[in-house]
Amino acid sequence: MNRFALALAVTFAATACRQDTASTPPEQMEPTPATPAAANDPPPATTTPAPSDGAGATDAEAPTVDPADTAAVDTGPAKPHADPAAEITEPKDFAHVKLELKQADGKVYRDAKGIVIDWSVPTSVDIDFGGHKHALVLTAKRDGKAGVTVEIDYRMDGTEVLRSADLAGKLRERAVLRVEGGGALALTVVNKRVEPKPAAARDTLDKGETKDPLSGAEKKK
């Protein structure tokens, strides 16, 4: 075979090989085996998606509240009203309580004027009398049309004497509660209807006889 024939045969063989490879469908091609990871290779890194607004937040990311920005809330007993009419804008019922207190030594304290408190609201009453300090918390509640019940917490010189003791009676009637050791408490409760104070009257101005709106106004003499 001469050189020309040999070169032609080699060309035909190469062309046939390329056509055979190109015509092989992808599903018939053998996959390339994955290279196993080495024992000391680190695991592949993973990416954690960023949390959406409000989701995945941690405690460290939570906003903090400055205690100075939070108003203090008084959870203790209320105080008697010094002038209830000045504190309301419409008529309201209050409990008017007159208190008598007898100590074990026989000394008796009487509050002839009485105190004005809210119905069903624990109210503190402090009395410094006869060499002792008396601290009471009174909660007056209506019981039907004419009945009244007063829950009493009582401490003398810091020592508890009564806790949640109920004194039941009727409006305008004196009710007495005996205290161990020779002491006693007496309460007279009346419903007091209080009207709000009227608004201050305005001065009346006299515009005079002129019709000029820019002439000013003078007070009546």
Tokens 């009582």 — which residue?
154
Task: Note whether 141 and 149 are within 8 A (CB).
Answer: yes
Task: Note whether 147 and 168 are within 8 A (CB).
Answer: yes
The reported pTM is 0.59
Task: Note whether 136 and 153 are within 8 A (CB).
Answer: yes
The span from the CA of 213 to the CA of 130, in Å, is 70
User: In the prediction, which pLDDT does 72 show?
Assistant: 47
User: In the prediction, which pLDDT does 53 show?
Assistant: 53
Q: Which of 5-19, 42-56, 147-161 has the highest mean pLDDT?
A: 147-161
User: In the prediction, which pLDDT does 11 show?
Assistant: 53
Q: Is the CA virtual torsion 83, 89, 95, 96 positive or negative? A: positive
Task: Note whether 97 and 138 are within 8 A (CB).
Answer: yes
Tokens found for residue 53? 């607004």
pLDDT in tens, 189-218: 999 999 999 887 666 655 556 566 555 556
Radius of gyration of the chain (CA): 47
